[in-house]
Amino acid sequence: MSEFEDGRIRWPRTDSGRYQCTHCDKTYARHTGIWKHFQIHHQDDSDNTCRKSDCSEARFDQFHLCDNHLIEHENKAREFIKRTYEINESGCWIFKGSTTKSGYAQCHSYNLHSKHSEVVIGAYKLSLYLTNRLDESHEMNQTPLAIYGDVHHICRTRNCINPDHLVEISENLHDVMHNLGNRRIAKLVLGELIEHYPHLEKEITSLRKEL
């Protein structure tokens, strides 16, 4: 594993183009997958101080920042989100900023991802994260942004950042949702997924009805 000049991790690729973990034999198709794996299984957490320059406070829970700096950066990110969308007739928050070639909203991470993360992240993922952080009853309230998996647009609008239209899911489930293939098999697979992801029952049932 090497690093770019700005400190981001440069993951090696296999011959098939997958990201290769340098600590074990795991490979992932997407950067989000290899990064989540590294965060959970291999990142050195022996230094428990805030990653903000010149701060010696302890990091908050699983996060890379102390409580004060975490709140500071989250508030800045919320102000950004508030001024960068317009609401359409479907209730989608249409992002007015930069998008990827595929049409997904993207923005600066506001130092909320982690020390070695990419500077640019999905604005939709940032929006969902910020909303979950305000809801103390949400199961992902204490989950760092870097640990988030894929985020699925229930509305099917790629540049939407409305958190009510977004749900965090695994990479495998996301692939199923976008590559349903044979209708009969897809319905069976989606039925099985409800058992494993009960919190997504509404969204998965909606997908089955569309087949």
In sequence order, what are the residues at sequence separation of 6 or more whose Cβ sits closer than 8 angstroms to the Cβ of residue 135? 141
Residue indicated by tokens 């960068």: 84
| pLDDT for position 71 | 93
How many Å apart are CA 184 and CA 92, to the nearest integer? 31
- The reported pLDDT for the residue numbered 4 is 41
Both tokens of residue 22?
């340098």
Q: Tens digit of pLDDT for each residue in 120-177?
A: 889 999 999 999 999 988 888 888 888 887 888 888 899 999 999 998 876 666 666 6
Domain boundaries, the chain: 69-166, 180-211
Q: Quick one: how far is CA 59 from the chain centroid?
A: 21
User: CA–CA separation, 23 vs 18, rounded Å?
Assistant: 15
Q: Which two tokens stand for residue 57?
A: 């406070």
Average of pLDDT values for 89-111? 93
Helices (H) and strands (E) in the chain, counts: 6, 10
Torsion on CA atoms 78, 147, 109, 203, rounded to nearest 10 = -60
Residue 176 to residue 200: CA distance in whole angstroms: 14
Which pLDDT does position 41 carry in this prediction? 66
Averaged over 97-117, what is the pLDDT?
84
The token duo for 128 is 């969902």
> Residue 13 carries which side chain, given as an amino acid letter?
R
For the entire predicted model, the pTM comes to 0.66
Angle of CA points 190, 191, 196, to nearest 5°: 85
Least confident of 23-32, 62-71, 154-163, 192-201: 192-201
Task: Classify the phi-psi angles of 183: left when phi > 0, otherwise alpha if psi is within -120 to 50, otherwise beta.
Answer: alpha
Bridge partner residues of 168 (DSSP): 151
Other Cβ atoms less than 10 A from the Cβ of 206: the count is: 12
What dihedral angle (degrees, nearest 10) is formed by the CA atoms of 71, 77, 79, 84? -170
| Alpha carbons 198 and 32: distance in angstroms, whole number | 23
- Both tokens of residue 97? 């900023």
